[in-house]
Amino acid sequence: MTRHAATAAPRRALAWLRWYVTEFTGENAYARHVAELRHADPDAEVPSRRAFERRRVEARYGDPRDGGGLGCC
């Protein structure tokens, strides 16, 4: 068995684990958002990651009376 073959399975497992964790935690949300914006309109203005995250948190946890998310508690 070659050295590459011996490390291929653990590398695949770690790559899968990394993908799973980043999807589960939402780390890839910004990258997906940018890709979707670019696909729909290549000239569209892309928000900064900070602005994107602020909007995302507000949508999830904002006051529902103001059109936000479910609110806290």
**Of the candidates 58, 41, 40, 42, which has an alpha carbon nearest to the alpha carbon of residue 50?**
58
| Cα-based distances in Å from 64 to 26, 49, 53, 56, 59 | 22, 24, 18, 14, 9
pTM summary value? 0.63
pLDDT single digits (tens) 41-73 = 999 999 999 999 999 888 888 777 776 666 555
Structure token digits, residue 49: 């990651």
List, in sequence order, the alpha helices (H) in the chain: 3-25, 29-40, 49-61
- Backbone phi, then psi, for 62, in 5-degree steps? -70, 170
pLDDT single digits (tens) 26-44 = 888 999 999 999 999 999 9
